[in-house]
Amino acid sequence: MNIKKLTGIFSLVAVMLFTSACSEIDYSASGNDNSLLLPSFTDSSSREEAEAPPANITTERLKEKYKTEEKPFTHLTEAESLISEDTEPLTDIAPYTGKGYIRLNAYQTVSLLIEVPTNQHYNISISACGNGGAVTLITGGTKLIDSENGKYKRWNGTLHGAYKVQQSRLFTSYEVAPVYLEKGINKITLQTVNGSVYIDSISVRNAVVQSDRYENAGTSIAGDEINYGRLQTMSYLKSIYGKQTLTAQYVTPNTNAEIDVIYRNTGRYPAIRCGDLMYYTKAGASLLTGTNENTDTELAKEWARQGGMVMYSWYWYSPIGRTTLYARDCEFDVTKAVTDNEKYYTLSQEELKMLLDDGSISEECYTVLCDMDSIAAQLKTLYNEDITVLFKPMAVTDSAMYWWETDEETYKTLWKMMQIRFEELHELSNLIWICPATKGRMYPGDDYVDIIGCDIYNNSDSANLQGMLNTDTLTLNTKMTALTECCFTPDPDILYRDNCMWLWSGAQGGKYLINPDGYMTGDYISVSQMKKIYNHELTIARDELSIDR
């Protein structure tokens, strides 16, 4: 197996920012669905697609396509100039610039046209204050209203991120990641997505594009249990970081539905098969009915034998009470499950049962440790075949959607309980621990994390640079960063343009790619775009992996 030769030269981009991300899984084709039969022919949708881009998509072409000419530029727009002449600007909050400021309530928008002198990246900042709202930055278009019942918005422009405006009565400057604008007139739209925000002005200036994030990223291993495969995998990931990105695809649990669709339409497989261990606990297994059964780790073993990399998330069904992932429906009190007494982390289930019977530990603590054992048993079968696993448990969201997100200390303690139990009791030295660090305060610490993950569901042609730069700020010892969940793999051209080379991009499965019959929906990514991704010089498919196993 060999890797496509790189011909491009990368310039590194530097900025600091904050991002808003959301993680929500919809396995509409799993669990109780017995009808997922994969057709053995190419999807009918592919016959209707335009011809895919050439297979040899090189960085030399991209260097010409995104040639930039760095020129100094500054422009300030007073927000009140964007409202109608018969509307008076607000003036109650001082000091402000110009004649006043404007107020945007939830989902209201304001747009401006700005002419820039050259193709390059620009910083677009707002001077704002308010009640803790968030303002999204869109270029080239406006929001489309009828999307996902308002849950996830679709855009006919590019969504770059959100300004998180702190609760304050003092106008403060906020920035997101540098935005690539083409020479000439560009449309910029601001829209609040929650709360209300007062905007005094919008400024645009040329951005300094430099960064050493890829070179500084380390390969330090969390914990004490290390094996050869884990070290070799981390070394390989470091060798490609910032140069290429691994293709990765989530599958419907207990199937290869999504990656089979990719193969039928591109002739290639993703480098990483991303599965979920959600049905391997007692509560999770109770959701399987009919002919459904847990075979996912067997599929993962076969995938590894064929040369692919294995990744597992763990969306954890609550072990007591109503079986659910979601905090709003959960009867399970996770705060009663955690303990700082590390001697309990490595006790056998028999020893734990004795402690439960005499009241030394809670039922909640006993059940979470038993659930961990169920997951460890599956990971052990992969360990026994020398398979290194990229392991991403317990996703984190801005809205504290899941029951394990009750508070930061509980989350971090639960993470440590799991890692110590897996390594010391179950001797799982084959795991590369990936923390989904959407919220910095939930980060369990460098000693417990190998790679930082970022989950962003942004249905827009964006590299999600804001998310990458935000995760760079979460660790003292720089970690490699992966886009661990997303609607679809970002266009490699855009990743190159914004110098946002994620270690991999984990494209979500289910409704994000296929319908229950196993066909591509085309709602998020087209066949043509998929062919481009899997035949691009900057991406690595399964047949191009070169890990010394």
pLDDT digits (tens, 9 = 90+) for 162-172: 899 999 999 99
Is position 538 within any domain?
yes
Q: CA of 192: how far to CAs of 22, 94, 153, in Å?
A: 16, 22, 12
Residue ending a domain, choose from 150, 185, 206: 206
- One domain, residues 97 and 218: no
The answer to whether residue 31 sits within a structural domain is no
Q: What is the pLDDT of residues 419-438, one digit of tens each?
A: 999 999 999 999 999 998 76
CA 187 to chain centre: 27
Among 266-280, 303-317, 323-337, 522-536, the range scoring the smallest mean pLDDT is: 522-536
- In the chain, % helix, strand, coil (3-state, to 5) comes to 30, 25, 50
Mean pLDDT for 143-150 is 46
Domain-embedded: residue 3: no
On whether both 186 and 258 belong to a single domain, the answer is no
Which of 180, 206, 232 is the endpoint of a domain? 206
* CATH number of 76's domain: 2.60.120.260
Is residue 201 domain-shared with residue 221, that is, in the same domain? no
Q: Are residues 320 and 429 in the same domain?
A: yes
Whether residue 181 is found in the same domain as residue 293: no
> How far apart (Å, rounded) are the C-alpha atoms in residues 57 and 492?
10
Q: 25 or 322: whose pLDDT is higher?
A: 322
- Residue 13 is assigned to a structural domain of this protein: no
Per-residue confidence (pLDDT) for residue 476, from 0 to 100: 64
Q: Is residue 304's pLDDT more than 60?
A: yes
41 within domain boundaries: no
Residue 291 is predicted with a pLDDT of 74
Contact 127, 207 (CB under 8 A): no
Mean pLDDT, the chain, integer: 84
Q: How far is CA 58 from CA 231, 494, 499, 532, in A?
A: 31, 13, 15, 11
340 and 469 together in one domain: yes
**pLDDT for the residue 9:** 26
pTM of the model as a whole? 0.83
Q: Which amino acid is at 55?
A: A
- Residue 89 resides in a domain: yes
Residue finishing a domain among 206, 226, 254: 206
Are 158 and 234 contained in the same domain?
Answer: no
| Cβ neighbours for 311, distance < 8 A, ≥ 6 positions apart | 248, 272, 273, 274, 275, 389, 390, 391, 392, 434, 506
What count of other Cβ atoms lies within 10 Å of the Cβ of residue 47? 8
Q: Which pLDDT score, from 0 to 100, does residue 26 have?
A: 44
**What is the reported pLDDT for 341?**
93
Greater confidence, 467 or 197? 197
Q: Is residue 15 domain-resident?
A: no
The reported pLDDT for the residue numbered 60 is 67
Tens digits of residue pLDDT in 61-88:
777 778 788 899 999 999 999 998 888 9
Q: Which segment of 39-53, 458-472, 534-548 scores lowest on mean pLDDT?
A: 39-53
Percent of the chain predicted with pLDDT > 90: 62
272 and 396 share one domain = yes
The dihedral of CA 353, 293, 488, 229: what is its sign? Answer: positive
| Residue 278, domain member (yes or no) | yes
Indicate whether 235 and 202 sit together in one domain.
no
Q: Cα angle at 75 between 72 and 78, to 5 degrees?
A: 165
Residues 92 and 226 in one domain: no
Q: Are residues 222 and 191 in the same domain?
A: no
Asked if residue 416 and residue 285 are part of one domain, the reply reads: yes
The CATH number that applies at residue 537 is 3.20.20.80
Q: Say how many C-beta atoms besides its own lie within 10 A of residue 151's C-beta.
A: 9
Q: Which residues of 474-504 are buried (b: 16+ CB within 10 A; e: fewer)?
A: bbeebbbbbbbbbbbbbbbbbbbbbbbbbbb
Say how many domains are in the chain. Answer: 2
Give me the domain span that covers residue 229. Answer: 213-544
- pLDDT band at 133, cuts 50/70/90? confident
CB contact at 8 A, 316 and 337:
no
Residue 2 binned pLDDT confidence (cut-offs 50, 70, 90): very low
